[in-house]
Amino acid sequence: MHQIVGCQPPIKLNEEEERRKKKKKKQKVTDMLPVVVVHGGADHIPKERSEKSTLGVCSAARAGYTILQGGGSSMDAVVEAVTFLENNPSFNAGCGSVLNIKGEVEMDAIVMDGKTLGSGAVSAVRNIANPIQLARLVMDKTSHACLTAEGANRFARSMSVPEVPLESLITEYSRMRWTKNLAADANPVECQIGKMGTVGAVAVDVEGNVACATSTGGILNKMEGRVGDTPCIGSGGYADNQVGAVSTTGHGEAIMKVTLARLILFHVEQGQSVEAASDLGLAFMKSRVHGLGGVVTVDPQGRWAARFSSLQMSWAAAQKDTLHYGLYTGEHSTQSIEKPV
Amino acid sequence: MTMAEGFSNGIKPEDQERNLKMSAVVVVHGGAWAIPDDLAEASVDGVKVAAREGFSVLNTGGSALDAVEAAVRALEDNTVFNAGHGAVLNAAGEVELDAFIMDGRTLATGAVSSVKNIANPVSLARAVMEKTSHIMLTSRGANLFAESIGTATVPTDTLVTEYERKEWEKHTNYVSGVMEDFNSQWKVSAVAHDTVGAVAVDSAGNVACATSTGGIRNKMVGRVGDSPIIGSGGYADNLSGAVSCTGHGESILKVTLARLILSHIEQGKSVADSSQLSLQYMGDRVCGAGGAIVVSPSGQWAATFTSERMAWAAVDRDVLWYGLDPKERLKEPLSQ
């Protein structure tokens, strides 16, 4: 019925060759797993904040990797990694979220499990420290896939998820940016800074299960109730054990128009590598709707990519006890996972 | 699996020629579920009226976007359908509505989720698309926006029918509705209900889609289904076609059904095959049943469902096609 194109059987191989190839493939698979890749948003990141951003994604990747090494599922790993990013005030998710036009914080988050295609999302939820954990509860504890606004908060209360005061989610920086953007003489270029700092993670566990998680405070000075790409399945993220997993960041309205996560996985289904598929998806978004963004992508074999069309994207990946990270296009540093950055 | 499609049984040469001239087509659905007999006739009448409404917009030079909005408004205004007037009640006895509209020319999109007490959510979704820099507004924010553009909220009692009030009281909990409303070859974990939707192609070859729903009876407060989610409840792209989906929302979300159907069309499959493959996949992979209407930029169309019934109607040239039961494909001249 639904076929993954691109997996063609070998035409003629003698038995030994075939066996050798199989063994090699199997070995490769074991080597490559587990893996976790995180992003801290595709954005123009001010220089003074870039170091914090890199440190943040590295520690989130480490946290996710620790879960995976302890035999945890990819779902546990992505939720852990994103929880780290939400708790870090340098990122636009959880604590550190941007403020809407009224100076309030409304957050969106999604998780998706590639094994079952189950997903959970919350949109425009308030006063929750870790929306990603609430999204997971929607998946695990309800028959629904998305709860919004007051309904999401009501559900949080029923699950005994504590509500935190608004002030605990607001940083001095986000308050400053909000005030600046409200000013009559606000610089429109500066207004774009920090606009697209969604965070997210994708992972593959040792069993080959993929998962994704994405969380955001949305865009600066957004209207009350604005929902972006993040909690929309196929836009902010998608995960399918038969293909791979994607978490996206960038210009939310553009990402939605092309359902970026799903688009990239269609390319993977057609036989493209995770890197080529990510680039194709981002290039299409740029040419068709003039949107910039970034993605982290994995396939069930553990191949991964962190790609972006924006100026920067802070990202980090952990695989084979090695930490990979970068911020600018072409930048790719590696080090042992044990060492601090 | 059942299916109705345009130009399926061998394309006649004269059809092909007309096809090249980009004949305008509109297809509407009134929801894929186990429609009870006492609602059958009214459902079919309702989709026929909506399809005529949409087509008359196309006929007088309106765009595909105008046509799908008009068709869905007609369905929202009809109390037989679970959208606008006639919407179901959530667990708290309130009306929360989702709607979505998309323009295949620009990929521009507008959506509202969990908006309270709006008679025509599809028009509010279009206003989000045209009057804000956002795509989706939710809950109170959507109502505040409605207020700011002068869209009136209406009392719950004007949206809720006596039928729905009784049904809601009968179904004391959500789970009890599952097997009654949703009785098909695939078991599902939740009840399917009747979203409405429309797709159209205008004479310029632009496609559009619109979807609107009251969601699932006794849903949790704030539950958002597939309808307002781009790529799930609907999608429209002039390069491939337009789709509007209905059925078990959580299953539709899992497979991003609208986008999945269009990806098959992008790979060269027919609108009918693409719909059939995708609905079958949704059944096999996540045990969900539903339906979809599809139109291609060249005017090919299909109305397909895996649920027990789906009320659908299409106007293609001067013929009104319609059906409700599997394999049912009736037609009458449009002028009738």
pLDDT over 50 at B184, yes or no: no
Three-state SS at B149: coil
Annotation marks residue A198 as catalytic: yes
The pLDDT of residue B117 is 92
The CA distance from A240 to the nearest CA of chain B, in Å, is 9
Q: Chain B contact for A145, CB < 8 A?
A: yes
| Number of separate domains in chain B | 1
3-state secondary structure (DSSP) of residue B165: helix
List the single best residue of A191, A224, A287 to mutate versus B (max B Cβ within 10 A). Answer: A224
Nearest residue in A to B94, CA atom: A151
Q: Is B288 part of a structural domain of the chain? A: yes
Residue B101 belongs to a domain: no
Residue pLDDT, tens place only, B200-255: 999 999 999 999 999 888 899 999 999 999 999 999 999 999 999 999 999 999 99
Q: By C-alpha distance, which of A198, A206, A32, A225 is closest to A110? A: A198
What is the model's pLDDT at position B205?
A: 95
Residue pair A316/A84 in contact by the 8 Å Cβ criterion: no
Lowest mean pLDDT among B6-15, B22-31, B82-91, B184-193: B6-15
Which residue in chain B is spatially nearest to A233 when comparing CA positions? B253
Closest CA to A331 of A311, A320, A339: A311
Parse chain A into domains and list their residue ranges.
33-336
Question: Which stretch of A12-26, A71-85, B84-98, B140-154 has the lowest confidence by average pLDDT?
Answer: A12-26
In a domain, B157, yes or no: no
- The pLDDT assigned to B21 comes to 53
Distance (Å, rounded) from C-alpha B1 to C-alpha B284? 12
The reply to whether residue B133 touches residue A253, judged by beta carbons under 8 angstroms, is yes
User: Taking Cα atoms as reference points, which of B99, B90, B104, B98 lies closest to residue B69?
Assistant: B99
Mean pLDDT across A39-66: 90
Q: Is residue B206 part of a domain?
A: yes
The tokens for B92 are 């708290």
The candidate with the shortest Cα–Cα distance to B317, out of B329, B332, B328, is: B332
Does residue B265 belong to the interface with chain A, where contact is any CB pair within 8 Å?
A: no
Q: What is the pLDDT of residue B101?
A: 98
In a domain, B247, yes or no: yes
Question: Inter-chain contact B140–A258, Cβ cutoff 8 Å?
Answer: no
CA quadruple A128, A131, A136, A142: dihedral sign: positive
* pLDDT confidence of residue A17: 60
- Amino acid identity of residue B33, one-letter, is W
Chain segment A12-43, per-residue pLDDT in tens: 445 556 566 555 555 455 689 999 999 999 87
Whether A266 contacts chain B with CB within 8 A: yes
Pair of tokens at residue B238: 């002039």
First to last CA, chain A: 47
- Partner-chain contact B114 A148, CB within 8 Å: yes
Report the pLDDT value the prediction gives residue A183, as an integer from 0 to 100. 75
Structural domain harbouring B305: 5-70+171-333
**CATH superfamily placement of domain A33-336:** (Glycosyl)asparaginase (3.60.20.30)
- Within-domain flag for B303: yes
Binding site for substrate: what residues of A are annotated?
A: 226-229, 249-252
Write down the pTM of the prediction.
Answer: 0.90
Whichever domain contains B254, its CATH number is: 3.60.20.30
